[in-house]
Structure 1
Amino acid sequence: MTEPLLLIHPVGVGLSSRFWERFRRSWRDRDESRLLLAPDLLGCGEAPMQKRAITVEDWVAPLEQQLRALDDGPVVLVSQGASLPIALSLIERAPDLVSRLVTISPPGWRVLSEPFSLQRAQQLWGVLFSGPIGSLFYRYARRRAFLRSFSEKNLFAEPESVDEEWLSTLEQGSAPMASRWAVFSFLAGFWRGNWEPQLCSLSIPVLVVFGRDATGIGRSRRWDDADERIATFKSKLPRAEIRTISGRNVLPFESAEACVETLQSWLC
């Protein structure tokens, strides 16, 4: 039986399951038989939006419920970027529901393995994000000019790839002010923690896909470059398949065809 794919979108300004639309179109051009599941994470898209801090467990619970209701056997989890901890938590919580893991553009190993204080996340939420400062910041961050600049500097290898489809998707997704709570939960770090034990102990097949121009998001001297990141993942996950394709940090959108081809060849 062909395993369904559960596509876990990243969390960010305007992001939702629509992140996967270009990937899904490319997939359908090649294969119409495999079921592709692309749910909205809590606080994103059409999912409920409430003013509260959202944890990884909060994001995982509806995914588990959906898979158990589907009752179609285990799925291949496909995570994008920093949604990897959501995938790892789902595997830990419901190992019977997952047959394989694909992680596309995962964060650097330092980010994945560093402990993160819940108290610090709560302080960031309370001081910066839950009040007027957070509201003003979100109004600024969802402006088209900012979305374009941020995408060109941090997400895409080629500035011209930041096209109308990408920008309109982010604008529409960030239009509801309540969509800021998921974004602020991510920025505060409620997803952070030492995920190294869960990742290194996986017994299921794992595919890691990096863009050849992969970088950290934002500015930091501590972030590794693509070659260093790939070398670290190879040493930490010797049984995983690690592949590179053209692009930077949003491969399912920027390099949809290459991304689909890579996943399909691995799944065969």
Structure 2
Amino acid sequence: MSLPTRNVRLQLAHGSLFWREVGMGLPLVFLHGTWQDGEQWMPLLQYLGSSASSGERIPRRNNRTEGYHCFAPDLLGFGESSRPKLPYSIDLEVEVLAEWLDSLRCPPVVLVAEGLGGWIAASYALRFPERVCGLVLIAPEGVQTKTRRWGLERSLAGRFPWRAWGLQCIAPVARLLGWPWVAHQLAWRRELRRSPAACDILFRRRSRLIAAEQLDEKVGWLKVPVLLLQGEEANSTTVALTHTYAAAPLCELRILPGGDDLVHTEAEAIAAEIRTWLQTLNSKTK
């Protein structure tokens, strides 16, 4: 039987934020992946919102609790949250996250995040370490890799989408000649344009603004415990991102079955890893 989900919306300084809540107990905040929204986490919330072992105290505020109070917001510019015409950045998303958690009067939380959400979560933990008990990160963005990334996406949906213009010109001929790659790339462009905030943050801003928010040199400054989860069949980019974040001082890496879609394919395994990790942290605080 699925747990009841509470859908909530709150007006903040830059617009309204929409989120889903499941369960009661210790607060876990889930930040969605790059091309996703908070709905991505619903299978995992069903596992973690159910009753857990009593006596866990992360954060250590109450003597007893059951399960977890799970929050899965749509980040500003995504999903059902407002999409104001603003210059989107990691700093903006961190500011909105801080205002939202302040409004909820949440105690220090555990942030569970994937992709772009991981970049935001780690940046929040660096800025407000006293407000974070731990990070659970899956393929977190925000650090460089050896291979150049986002070149195709920039040419399709960047400030000067030259590839998209060319593809639109040859699309009628491509259909006649049976060139499916043209239709595939135009479909990907449409998908990208549905997430303008993600495009702005990842590749549509000036390079110096992106570089200023990257965390390559700051991962070692993280003061909170970090759990990294990676699929055993993950691609080389995911492995590289994970490897960089593994330099965090209090980091543990767990390899799970699956590839680059762990949240959808391995929700039960992820929930089990998070429970075990939180129980271990809890035992260290006693």
TM-score (norm 2): 0.62
Distance 2:141 2:31 in 1: 15
Partner of 1:9: 32
Partner of 1:157: none
CA contact (8 A) 2:138 2:229 kept: yes
Deviation, structure 1 residue 70: 1.5
CA gap of 1:19–1:59, structure 2 versus 1, over 3 A, is: same
Partner of 1:241: 252
CA contact (8 A) 2:219 2:245 kept: no
Residue segments in structure 2 that go unaligned for 5+ positions in a row: 1-23, 53-65, 169-182, 280-286
Give CA deviations for 1:68-107 in whole Å, capped at 9, x if unaligned: 1121310001111232221122123322221111111235
Partner of 2:275: 264
Distance 2:121 2:267 in 1: 21
Give yes or no for the alignment of 1:25 onto 2:46: yes
CA gap of 1:107–1:57, structure 2 versus 1, over 3 A, is: closer
Deviation, structure 1 residue 233: 5.2
Partner of 1:154: none
Pick from 207, 222, 228 the counterpart of residue 202 of structure 1. Answer: 222
Partner of 2:203: 188
Partner of 2:130: 96
CA contact (8 A) 1:26 1:257 kept: yes
Percent identity of the aligned residues?
26
Residue segments in structure 1 that go unaligned for 5+ positions in a row: 137-144, 151-170, 217-222
Specify the SS of the correspondent of 1:126: coil
CA gap of 1:56–1:108, structure 2 versus 1, over 3 A, is: closer
Distance 1:183 1:231 in 2: 23
Give yes or no for the alignment of 1:214 onto 2:234: yes
Give CA deviations for 1:150-191 in whole Å, capped at 9, x if unaligned: 8xxxxxxxxxxxxxxxxxxxx9xx7xx974312321441658
Specify the SS of the correspondent of 2:49: helix
Distance 2:126 2:241 in 1: 24
Distance 2:249 2:128 in 1: 24
Partner of 2:101: 67
CA contact (8 A) 1:53 1:125 kept: no
TM-score (norm 1): 0.66
Higher share of residues assigned helix: 1
Aligned letter for 1:184?
C
Specify the SS of the correspondent of 2:100: helix
Higher share of residues assigned strand: 2
Give CA deviations for 1:106-125 in whole Å, capped at 9, x if unaligned: 359643x99x9xxxx9xx84
Deviation, structure 1 residue 245: 0.6
CA gap of 1:60–1:127, structure 2 versus 1, over 3 A, is: same
Counting matched residue pairs gives: 215
Give yes or no for the alignment of 1:45 onto 2:79: yes
Give CA deviations for 1:111-146 in whole Å, capped at 9, x if unaligned: 3x99x9xxxx9xx843239xx85xx8xxxxxxxx96
Specify the SS of the correspondent of 2:235: coil
Quick one: higher RCO (CA 8 Å, sep 6+), 1 or 2?
Answer: 1
Distance 1:67 1:73 in 2: 9
